[in-house]
Chain A
Amino acid sequence: MTEWIWLVIALPALGTVFLHFFGRRIGEPYAGWIASATIGSSFVIGLIAAVPFLRGEAHAETVYLFDWIPALGAHAELLWDPLSALMVLVVSGVGTLIHVYSIGYMHGDERFGRFFTYMNLFATSMLTLVLANNFAVLFLGWELVGLCSYLLISFWFTRPAAAAAGKKAFIVNRIGDFGFMIALMLVFTTFGTLSYSQVLENPGELLGAGTATAVGLLFLVGAAGKSAQIPLYVWLPDAMEGPTPVSALIHAATMVTAGVFVVARTAPIYALSETASVAVATVGAFTALLAATIAIAQRDIKRVLAYSTISQLGYMFVGVGSAAYVAGMFHLMTHAFFKALLFLGAGSVIHAMADEQNMNKMGGLFGKMKITGWTMAIATLAIAGIPPLAGFWSKDEILGTAFEKGGFYYLLWAIGLLTALLTAFYMTRMFILTFLGKPRWAEGVHPHESPRTMTVPLMVLAALSVLGGLVNTPFRLGLEHFLEPAFEGVELAHAPEGALLWILAAVSVLAGVVGILMAAALYLGPEERRERLLGQIRRPWFAMENAYWVDQMYGRTIVIPGKKLSIWAAFTFDNGVIDGIVNGVGVLVQRLAAALRPLQTGLVRNYALVLAAGVVGLVVWFLSSGGL
């Protein structure tokens, strides 16, 4: 089956091309079903090809397709190992559910066919990224994912905010790519090839510790762009301008996981540099905390989830930055389940509320939308880290490993723990404001449960959010055994064992429970008490609500000065100075010509003569300077 693994990419690619030309004619709902079928087939193929890994009897294989850029050692070549297998399954599995859901969600959109063209392209790109066997193909997928985010975020391009958000996503990602590209330059200069097989086999042979640190930090810059970490996370909250299934795809299955994946993929390089690894974990921890505090005060349901994604990605960075690659990938997987569920559930709510996203105008929806409500409740508990749901196992493994590493990592553990409390708080707050309490709906809104195409994916994801964590528990480390071959030669960090394990687990569960109870007390309790308590922390609350004005700060320190520089360069310097000199010389020559009027005969042949004389003079000069 492995030699057919390219079909995983080719099928959605074919879907993209087909729907590009015929999507409009095919129309609703078949365009959506075709797109779902292609990505669904990718999942099935991936599953069949992964069976040998599950049995633990296969090893990594590369599949050569054709030469791409020979001078860089970059062929169109795929790598099928447990890590890419896991990513393929998550991307295509969750992706398929989101595709199916979109058939219902995008009902009635005049560019229905085009939407699925882009969705299939998104899947194609992400699958290329994870299946690459060299950094050039990785970069191909990496950039195409950026393209797709651009296309889908600005899908409703007649809305200026959507168009601007799409552009912002692409450009901020490109800033990250700047670092990524320099990392690739370093890798190529050091190894003379971009092929994983040569670079990652035994990087220490050619890569000194200093260069390894540089490469690791530069990959981190790229990863921070794609995975929305400090300081490049600002594009992700705006990305919700796209249709909600797009947010689900970006936040859960594709795109943002790319950064985490790259760190895991290049683990042999990070293994050479403690500095780079600590940097990854530190960025992750602080991003997790920062984003969680912002999520607390948001009113827009999708914004809460957006900041929650940033925060959860932070956990994954802590994981892979602590050399707990399995834990990081584990959280990537469980997060894909419950975050896809949360976004799709939010979409279901928004759908029901006639495109209302402000939670202050929701409330009391539980009775009206039972399936959405229940599944969202499950997702909330899963992300809050309540056992035995998926999020508990993966988050706890990351925190446990950080604690076990000790030293500086104690701090990261503490930050992670605090974030866990905040996470439980803001998620419970979101759930209460949306589903419980009295309805605060606008007039003319009649909430209703969503159609089957939307609720079935919700239920599947809810099941995965409950059971997904069981693949890797302290009792049975299934995922770890599965992934281990992919990290051969890399020393993996582990969670503690014995009593400490249970104490740490108890502490983090406690944090989650406290968060939930605090939110419940605040938002289910009397309104007047809430007003009073929030009034006491009005200022910090206001800052959190406005995301600490980071966007505005970037605007003032980068965008506006940049524009001013550009205006100065274009109009003052280029038009004024440089072209001024050019034209000045022209005028000078004319004046000179006027003074030498008698010589000016107006005959072209005289000018030609002068030119020829000049040339002769120059020839003589060149020859004489040559010592002839």
Chain B
Amino acid sequence: MTAPQHGATPPTGRRRLTTQLAGALLCLALAACGGGGGGGGGGAATTTATPTQADAVGAAAPVVSIGATPTATTSGQVVTLSWSVSNAPATGCTASGAWSGAVAASGTRTVTAGAAGTANYTLTCGGASGTAAVVVSTPPPSPTTSLTLAPANITTAQTTVLSWSSANATGCVASGAWSGAQPTAGAVTVTPAGAGNFTYSLTCSGDGGSASASAALSVTAALSNSTTISVDSGPAGVGGVINVPYVNVTVCRPGTATCQTVDHVLLDTGSYGLRLLASALDTSLALPAVPTPSGADAAECGKFISGYTWGAVRRADVKMADEVAAGIPLQVVGDGGASYAATPASCSSAGNNLGTLAALGAKGILGVGLFQHDCGDACARTAIAGTYYACAGGACTASAMPLASQVSNPVASFAVNNNGVLVSLPAVGTAGLTAVSGTLIFGVNTQANNAITGETVFKTDAGGDFSTTYKGRTYASSFIDSGSNGYFFTDTSIRTCSGGDFFCPAATLALSATNTAADGSASGTVDFNVVNLVQLASTVRAAQVGGTLTGTAGGNSDHFDWGLPFFYGRRVFVVMEGHTVNGKTGPLWAY
């Protein structure tokens, strides 16, 4: 604030000097303005007022110099005004135009650029005025961006989709768990490399600046949902088996670490629930008995075409892969408990006792078919002889059994992957194989490894059957059964082996049948081979064999039994009752 003092009462004789001072000030102002004003605008504008005639006559005329930095900007941005006045009048200076009020004779001020247009910052000092013009334009809009992960919590066996979008941006750059230039919108499937927490960030930029977003992904170690299926020669003590798929099953006393892994349990898509031979279980397991509604010890009769399994209903934690069915009822076949000592006649009426290693050819049966319970509502409603029994004092009588106490498919009780299974076995040529290894995968369409892709869905009826048309006849109660060790169907033109069960055609037969869903919603042809059983090498344990359902004069059958050979070279999905996949609700098969 020195300049006004120079011009407060300028003596006439000093006009030249004053004029020189004004010039010097102008130069100073120019220098100051030229050196400053960094920022977005276009340099500085300075105007200098020319003294009017009146000024020349009276007191020394004021000289106004005002500049703005920058001279081009956008609304809302800061503009710095700098001005100086020589010979400032006593009345001071007044701002007008885009600014207002009284201002000192020299100084700087920051102002905010207003609406688009030309903003004139005028300073009037007595008869002199100066104006700094600033061109104000509408600012470019600010970019926005968003980034989402769906889902945000996965396991290492799952994938998630990272999707993003932005507005007012011309490009994006990824950082954090991903990198590189990205389009302004898009989506990528993220396959986790491992467990951990990951942050995906994205910065999108445009004329109006930049915006960032981030999303967090939690990846936990995947629990295994698959276990090995072995088609082999069976457990020690069993001979001559063919086409029997075995798995390992671990059972534990509920809630404890007292466990046992049982090998060579028959994988059976034709039954429901776990049955283990008592002779294969350590007595130290001491699985607790399941009571009937009356409080007696519950026992069960498992009926199969070839015979029955009789034994206690007990409870266990059933584990396969990393899946656990906590505290579910299972059947302990041939249980040594005194309550179960006598096999009821209504159980043994199913035929022969399968409750031995030799008869069963396995240490147990894992029923992972289309239903959760082996009997279901009928047995919950009323006592049905030949199913559940209440046993006390060595005598057993038929008893109703609530669903929660019925022997049940362990898959249904898993915490996850509990809607069915996928059975995957490699192809077996006409010469057969001595051993086959495949995979039992839990869950359908729940993880990357159990997704139905090209397979067709075949709904079944309430009993788990669909229809098969073979050589012009339709068999309305046909089924897929890993527990059947061949294709079993009616064809009296095929020679049977001595003994009668299996086919022994002179040469391998290439056959074909058509399966149709029970609701008619899908249909498809199945080509299959039937080889001569007795011409196979004696060591063969997996082969495309078949057999007769009815013999040469056995009358009608409604069945076509797609046994284990059907599984060779296929992925066969079992979707349990009440679960929906691909828009269809089980019970259903997909293959």
Chain A partners chain B: no
